[in-house]
Amino acid sequence: MTLYADLEFARTVQQVLEFVGTFAFAISGIRHAAGQKFDWFGGFVCGVAVAIGGGTIRDVMLGVTPFWMTSPVYLICTALAQVFVVAFKKYLRPLDNAWFVFDTLGLALFTIAGIQKTLALGHPFWVAVIMGCITGAAGGVIRDILLNKQPVIFQKEIYASASIGGGLLYWAMIEFGVNVGVTALATFLFICIIRFLAVRYHISLPVLTSEDNG
């Protein structure tokens, strides 16, 4: 059975998500690098790492050529993101939460792109949900390691959980026969809303504690 009625439309949606997600994640990585006073090259490397890291891990696990090796547009997107950050730094600097917004947009967009690519390769939905989470969250882990920070997804803050929740929503909507475009939009909004509400109202997962800490 064909998952989508219009496979060409699904591919177009996936490409758009990957382009916009790359730009958003690259800005997030470059902004973090700027906070650590990296030079321009360091900022670009950090932007590339967060923009393509998750998708690269996904593609290697799926046994396909990493997406950024098929077209230079993803590296160009990262370069444009760096130009954007440098050109508008005086406007971005007062926005302490700007990185959070771009990071959330990248998480949502790449989660959907990861799900769609996995499904297009014929894998079951449970694999697609996992690959969506890896696509959306692994780049942030690489970024935090480069910046010598504790990865966000290992903290109590809702991050990877929002990606998984979005994946489950995507799964449910497709099972009910909802159009892929509507499904992608709903999933995008769901992940963003979960992240924004979690941060706004300090919603978090329980923290593991050892017996020594009580």
pLDDT tens-place string over residues 61-86: 999 999 899 989 999 999 999 999 89
In Å, how far are 7, 62, 129, 182, 211 from 162, measured between CA atoms?
27, 23, 11, 19, 29
* pLDDT bracket for residue 97 (50, 70, 90): low
Q: Report residue 46 CA to chain centroid gap.
A: 15
Instruction: Provide the CA 144 distance to its chain's centre, in angstroms.
Output: 14
Q: What are phi and psi of 157, to 5 degrees?
A: -65, 135
What SS3 state is found at 9?
A: helix
Residue 212 — pLDDT band, cuts 50, 70, 90?
Answer: low
Q: Pinpoint the alpha helices (H) of 88-179.
A: 89-92, 98-120, 125-146, 160-175
Whether pLDDT at 123 is above 90? yes
In the block, tokens 């926005």 appear at: 95
pLDDT of the residue at 1:
37
Q: Are 103 and 187 in contact (CB under 8 A)?
A: no
Cα 123 from chain centre = 20
For residue range 23-70, what is the model confidence (pLDDT) as tens digits?
888 988 998 898 899 999 999 999 999 999 999 999 999 999 998 999
pTM recorded for the entire structure? 0.87
Largest CA distance in the chain: 57
